[in-house]
Amino acid sequence: MRGPHNIWRLVRTGATLERTGAMAAVLDAFDAPAPLRVAARVLGWPFKWLGYEGDPNVPPATRALTALGPAYIKFGQVLSTRPDVVGEEMAAQLRILQDKLPPFSIELAKETVERELDVPADDLFSEFSEPVAAASIAQVHKARLRDTGEVVAVKVLRPGVEKAFRKDIDAFYLAARMAELLSPSSRRLRPMDVITHFEGVVSGELDLRLESASASEFAANTKDDAGFQLPEVKWMHSGRRVMTLGWAEGTALGDNAALDAAGHDRVALSERVLQLFLNHALRDGFFHADMHQGNLKVAPNGDIIAFDFGIMGHIDEYTRRVYAEILFGFIRRDYKRVAEVHFEAGYVPSDRDVDEFARALRAVGEPIFGMDATRISMGRLLAYLFEVTERFGMETRTELILLQRTMVVVEGVARSLNPRMNIWKVAQPVVEDYIKKSIGPRAVLRDLSKTALVVSRFGPRLPQLVEAALIRQAEPPPSDSRNPWIGRLSWMAGGLAIGVLAGLLPFLLN
């Protein structure tokens, strides 16, 4: 329930960071300026005793986020993929949050299976292991189907996780309201919309039936992608709180030593993981939006295996084209075109200067080209990009939040495999291919064909529409214009003609 009582949750968040020692570690990781450090300590220290103690056997940041609950753990998972932002030491500490959290008992897991599937777990599975991975929302057990003998992964939601997320999200709403009230300049970032978007994403992740559907759709889209695998959904053994998938055998993508020992090419893997993401986002508009190392493995044959489909991103065709043009413009170093696309899409207010915006974008892009990743400070780059968006009044685009977040995570994963990777060079062939297929003459014909097909559906209704128009025009028309129904009939005839054209266009496109 949202309300002022959530102030307590926010106070306790700061107190927990202070009590666990995470406050200083986080401020150091982000290289926070002295005024912010002083303010954080002054506000946090008096309430230190109110914070959660957490597990003293784990590093401070991990200890604090684990104690605060699943929503905070999700945030830590994102940061774990960005050693260039938070430092190697902090990233390594936070990587524990991906799949090594304290598990709940196997007895509770089996009880959940029986309640959800109406069959005792021992009747469904001849083997059911202790948890092999435990994350913020669910944990995974390795099992064997009794009827077929197939080895599977059984994902079970944590008991009470829905209530825990609800509590955190309510507090986040209060924080967003306070930010809008106390800092008018933050309103362009639309914090309330961002939290609403986050709430929608989390709600979908808490229903494993939706995750099963996402996995099935994702598999259909990517079945022909070379070097990429997905485990099969076992629908008869899945429900709202339980999901069963084929077992994914492989090496964790985050374990570089194991990958090297298995003889895998980490440079090739780094390029493939980025290109796969771009292909899924641009080609399909449906992509895995939680692609951190804990959700990726490398099969013995070198294929990348993805799992955990609780957070999937979707972007429409128009937004995909805008995103591709922006990426393509950066790749070609055509900052004027990048700026124009931002204005055309309405991302920047029309009263701003497009040339000035192009120069600001040049200052963002130029330092990247010709450098390997080890010489680029992503932290400083993101800070400057934030200054640019603030100066030009750009609002947060909630439809792009998952896309932008996933791009950051995937780049972090790729750079952990190959620190010298240049993301622009790797992205170029994928983006160019999409541009050729989606913004060229053939794409225009396809768009016209789709539009014509929609209009042609009115064909069977033309007699009724004509009759209705004639009835409405029974009275004498205005003297200063021709009969409006003539215009309507012309439009209808045009629609019919377009419908005929629609039938011919597929042949023209072949």
Residue 14 included in any domain: yes
Q: Answer whether residue 239 is part of any domain.
A: no
Q: Is residue 452 part of a domain?
A: yes
- Asked whether residue 432 falls in the same domain as residue 500, the answer is no
Bridge partners for 127 per DSSP = 144
Rounded CA separation 465/458 (Å): 9
Average pLDDT of the segment spanning 68-88: 70
The residue-averaged pLDDT of 486-498 equals 44
Least confident of 95-109, 387-401, 483-497: 483-497
Q: How far apart are CA 216 and CA 7, in angstroms?
A: 41
* Residue 6 pLDDT exceeds 50: yes
Residue 302 shares a structural domain with residue 451? no
Q: What is the largest distance, in Å, between two alpha-carbon atoms of the chain?
A: 88
Among the listed residues 84, 170, 225, 290, the single catalytic one is 290
Is 211 inside a domain boundary? no
CA distance 296 to 210: 20
Type and span of the H or E element at 414 = helix 401-417
- DSSP at 289: S
Q: Give kind and range of the element (H or E) at residue 228.
A: strand 228-229
Average pLDDT over residues 156-162: 89
pLDDT mean over 236-255: 93
**103-116: pLDDT as tens digits:** 899 999 999 999 99
Q: Report pLDDT for 68.
A: 82
Q: Are 209 and 241 in contact (CB under 8 A)?
A: no
Number of folded domains that form the chain: 3
Same domain, 453 and 364: no
Measured at the alpha carbon of residue 149, what is the angle toward residues 143 and 155, in degrees to the nearest 5? 25
Which one of 439, 463, 484 terminates a domain?
Answer: 439
Q: What is the pLDDT of residue 497?
A: 39
For residue 432, pLDDT beyond 50 = yes
Rounded (5°) CA angle 302-214-194: 105
More confident residue, 85 or 304: 304
290 is catalytic: yes
What is residue 462's predicted lDDT score, i.e. its pLDDT?
Answer: 66
Whole-number Å distance between alpha carbons of 496 and 93: 64
Same domain, 395 and 271: yes
Same domain as 434, residue 333? yes
In this predicted structure, what is the pLDDT of residue 400? 67
Looking at the structure, tell me whether residues 376 and 471 fall in a common domain. no
Confidence of residue 509 (pLDDT cuts 50, 70, 90): very low
- Cβ atoms 272, 179 nearer than 8 A: no
> Is 152 a member of any domain?
no
Contact 164, 104 (CB under 8 A): no
Answer for the pair 25, 65: CB distance below 8 angstroms, yes or no. no
pLDDT on residue 42? 65
Residue 387 and residue 385: Cα distance in Å, rounded? 5
Q: Is the model's pLDDT at 451 over the cut of 50?
A: yes
The boundaries of the domain holding residue 355 are 249-439
The average pLDDT across 312-338 equals 85
180 in a structural domain: no
Average pLDDT over residues 196-223: 86
pLDDT category of residue 224 using cuts at 50, 70 and 90: very high
Q: Which of 413, 439, 465 is the last residue of a domain?
A: 439
* Same-domain status, 287 and 410: yes
Q: Looking at the structure, do residues 318 and 457 belong to the same domain, yes or no?
A: no
Q: What is the mean pLDDT of residues 166-171?
A: 78
Give the highest mean pLDDT range of 165-169, 177-181, 258-262.
258-262
- The arrangement of strands across the sheet holding 304-306 comes to 228-229, 304-306, 296-298, 251-252
pLDDT bucket at 486, cuts 50 / 70 / 90: very low
**60 is a domain residue:** yes
Residue 464 — pLDDT band, cuts 50, 70, 90?
confident
pLDDT at 472: 73
Instruction: Note the pTM of the prediction, 2 decimals.
Output: 0.69
Residues 274 and 338 in one domain: yes
Pick the range with the lowest mean pLDDT from 57-61, 367-371, 381-385.
381-385
pLDDT at 277: 92
User: What is the per-residue pLDDT for 377?
Assistant: 56
Report d(CA 479, CA 422) in Å as an integer. Answer: 69
State the average pLDDT over residues 168-184.
73
Query: Which of 439, 458, 490 finishes a domain?
Result: 439
Question: What pLDDT, on a 0 to 100 scale, did the predictor assign at position 502?
Answer: 38
471 lies in the same domain as 495: yes
- Determine, yes or no, domain membership for 109: no
| Shared-domain flag, residues 355 and 457 | no
Higher pLDDT, 296 or 65: 296
Quick one: 416 and 463 in the same domain? no
pLDDT mean across residues, the chain = 78
